[in-house]
């Protein structure tokens, strides 16, 4: 009985966090574990040739991704990205339907038109995420995504971002991200990979840090 209760509680916790979980593979993409992912033309924060590559497969509609961006990511940035030890890449992962696609299209618009403003816009989307079970509220629309761009210095005009979303201007780039999700067998968001190895508990900073340190030690 206790084991059944534990299974039920665990399932409820994952749903509450908004983590899209089908199965948890040992290593996404199989042979990619222990090596950097090939991610051409993706936004990179930090030194592109840093010894450690951290990749987030995330969804702007995912409450757990919002939480990760506010709790784990700042520590990663402060301790490793800013020092040049880690490069960070974000790949759009559309696990929450059409609204996920709209947000991804907006991010691709900013990345192409004003790459220097991308990461600020990236964080602004998550800051506007209502969190929790409110993920189904209509907070992602072409106009609202344009309004978010207006909050970011150097970003394209709100009208331009909204138009790009409405017209699907960057659909090809979003489709490329979807292909990467399939290629690396991503099953839930956020999926965090350190030099190609999936972190079992991405919400645990110590787990992420340990994986980064292990890779750095191998480089030294």
pLDDT digits (tens, 9 = 90+) for 82-131: 999 999 999 999 999 999 999 999 999 999 999 999 999 999 999 999 98
Phi-psi bin for 9: left (phi > 0), alpha (psi -120 to 50), beta? alpha
With helix as H, strand as E and coil as C, how does 161-204 read?
HHHHHHHCCCHHHHHHHHHHHHHCCCCCCCEEEECCEECCCCCC
CATH code assigned at 91: 3.40.30.10
Domains contained in the chain, number = 1
Q: In this predicted structure, what is the pLDDT of residue 137?
A: 66
Q: In this predicted structure, what is the pLDDT of residue 136?
A: 59
Q: In this predicted structure, what is the pLDDT of residue 16?
A: 45
> Nearest 5°: phi and psi at 136?
-85, 0
Nearest residue to 41 via CA among 170, 145, 150, 132? 170
Q: Categorize the per-residue pLDDT at 28 as very low, low, confident or very high, splitting at 50, 70 and 90.
A: very low
In Å, what is the CA distance from 1 to each residue of 5, 6, 10, 109?
Answer: 6, 9, 14, 51
Q: In this predicted structure, what is the pLDDT of residue 144?
A: 97
Upper half-sphere CA count for residue 15 (Cβ side, 13 Å) = 6
Task: Tell me which residue range forms the domain holding 122.
Answer: 2-219
Q: Are strands 86-92 and 191-194 parallel, antiparallel or unpaired?
A: unpaired
Q: Categorize the per-residue pLDDT at 63 as very low, low, confident or very high, splitting at 50, 70 and 90.
A: very high
Say yes or no to pLDDT of 18 above 90: no
Q: In this predicted structure, what is the pLDDT of residue 219?
A: 82
The mean pLDDT of the chain is 88
């Amino acid at each position: 009985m206790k084991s059944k209760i534990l299974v039920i509680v665990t399932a409820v916790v994952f749903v509450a966090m908004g983590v899209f979980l089908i199965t948890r593979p040992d290593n996404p993409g199989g042979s990619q574990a222990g090596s950097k992912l090939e991610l051409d033309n993706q936004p990179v924060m930090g030194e592109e040739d840093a010894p450690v590559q951290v990749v987030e497969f995330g969804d702007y509609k995912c409450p757990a991704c919002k939480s990760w961006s506010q709790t784990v990511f700042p520590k990663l940035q402060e301790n490793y990205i800013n020092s040049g030890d880690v490069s960070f890449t974000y790949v759009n992962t559309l696990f929450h339907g059409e609204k996920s696609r709209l947000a991804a299209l907006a991010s691709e618009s900013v990345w192409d038109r004003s790459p220097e403003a991308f990461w600020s816009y990236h964080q602004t989307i998550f800051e506007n995420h209502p969190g929790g079970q409110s993920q189904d509220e209509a907070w992602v629309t072409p106009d609202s995504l344009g309004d978010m761009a207006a909050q970011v210095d150097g970003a394209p005009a709100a009208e331009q971002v909204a138009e790009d979303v409405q017209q699907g201007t960057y659909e090809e780039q979003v489709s490329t991200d979807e292909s990467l999700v399939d290629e690396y067998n991503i099953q839930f968001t956020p999926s965090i990979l350190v030099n190609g190895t999936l972190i079992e508990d991405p919400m645990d900073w110590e787990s992420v840090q340990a994986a980064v340190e292990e890779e750095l030690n191998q480089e030294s």
